[in-house]
Amino acid sequence: MPYMKGSNSDYGPVYIREKGELRLIADPVNVEKVGPYKTKPLSHLKKCDSVRFCIREGDQTTSNKKNDPIFLTLCYSAKSLFDIALGFVADNVQHIDSLIGFPEQVAEKLFAAAEKRQKFVDPGTGLRALQTFSKAYGSLVLSSLCLKSRYLLVSEKLEEIKSFQGLSCLDLSSCKLGDDHELLQHLTTEALSSLVKLNLGDNCLSDSGLRKMTAPVRVMKRGLKNLEHLDLSCNPNIGELGIGYLCCFKKLSALDISGAGAKLSKSLLQMLQNKMGLVSADDPLQDFSHAHCKTEGWAEQVILQWDSIISDSAKPRISLMPRTVAQRFYGKETSMKRVLAPPSLAFNIKERKSEVNIQFHKKPLQDICAIAYNESLPGKTSAIQNSKKRDLEILVQDNAVPSAKRQCARQLTLEDWDLLDSY
The proportion of the chain whose per-residue pLDDT surpasses 90, expressed as a percent, equals 43
pLDDT confidence of 69, banded at 50, 70, 90?
low
Given this model, what pLDDT does residue 55 score?
Answer: 53
d(Cα 145, Cα 139) in Å, to the nearest integer?
11
pLDDT in tens, 32-52: 443 443 444 444 444 445 555
In a 3-state reduction of DSSP, which class is residue 356?
coil
Cβ contacts of 83-89, under 8 Å, gap ≥ 24: 86/110, 86/113, 87/113, 89/113
Q: What are phi and psi of 160, to 5 degrees?
A: -65, -40
Q: Give the predicted TM-score (pTM) of the model.
A: 0.66
pLDDT in tens, 211-248: 999 998 888 888 888 999 999 999 999 999 999 999 99
Burial (CB count within 10 angstroms: exposed 0-12, middle 13-18, buried 19+), residue 9: middle
d(Cα 221, Cα 198) in Å, to the nearest integer?
18
In a 3-state reduction of DSSP, which class is residue 282?
coil
Given this model, what pLDDT does residue 28 score?
Answer: 44
d(Cα 109, Cα 149) in Å, to the nearest integer?
31
In a 3-state reduction of DSSP, which class is residue 351?
helix
Given this model, what pLDDT does residue 338 score?
Answer: 55
Given this model, what pLDDT does residue 74 score?
Answer: 56
Complete DSSP assignment for 218-274: HHSS-SSTT--EEE-TT-TB--HHHHHGGGG-TT--EEE-TT-S----HHHHHHHHH
d(Cα 129, Cα 113) in Å, to the nearest integer?
12
Given this model, what pLDDT does residue 393 score?
Answer: 55
Of the candidates 256, 273, 269, 288, the one whose C-alpha atom is nearest the C-alpha of residue 356 is: 256
d(Cα 30, Cα 49) in Å, to the nearest integer?
19
Strand 169-171 and strand 31-33: pairing? unpaired
Put the strands of the sheet holding 21-24 in their side by side order.
Answer: 21-24, 14-18, 70-76, 51-55
d(Cα 141, Cα 136) in Å, to the nearest integer?
9
Amino acid at 210: L
Length of the chain, in residues: 423
**pLDDT average, residue stretch 79-98:** 93
Please state which of the ranges 86-100, 136-150, 278-292 shows the lowest mean pLDDT: 278-292
Please state which of the ranges 109-113, 135-139, 417-421 shows the lowest mean pLDDT: 417-421
**Average pLDDT along the chain:** 75
Distances (CA, A) of 207 to 75, 241, 279, 317, 412: 71, 7, 22, 41, 17
Whether residue 263 contacts residue 105, with contact meaning beta carbons closer than 8 Å, is answered with no
pLDDT confidence of 30, banded at 50, 70, 90?
very low
Q: What are phi and psi of 73, to 5 degrees?
A: -120, 130
d(Cα 380, Cα 416) in Å, to the nearest integer?
48
15-24, 144-153, 259-268, 276-285: which is most confident: 144-153
pLDDT confidence of 312, banded at 50, 70, 90?
confident
**pLDDT average, residue stretch 116-143:** 93
Please state which of the ranges 183-197, 207-221, 225-239, 375-389 shows the lowest mean pLDDT: 375-389
Put the strands of the sheet holding 144-146 in their side by side order.
Answer: 144-146, 169-171, 197-199, 229-231, 254-256, 359-361, 279-280
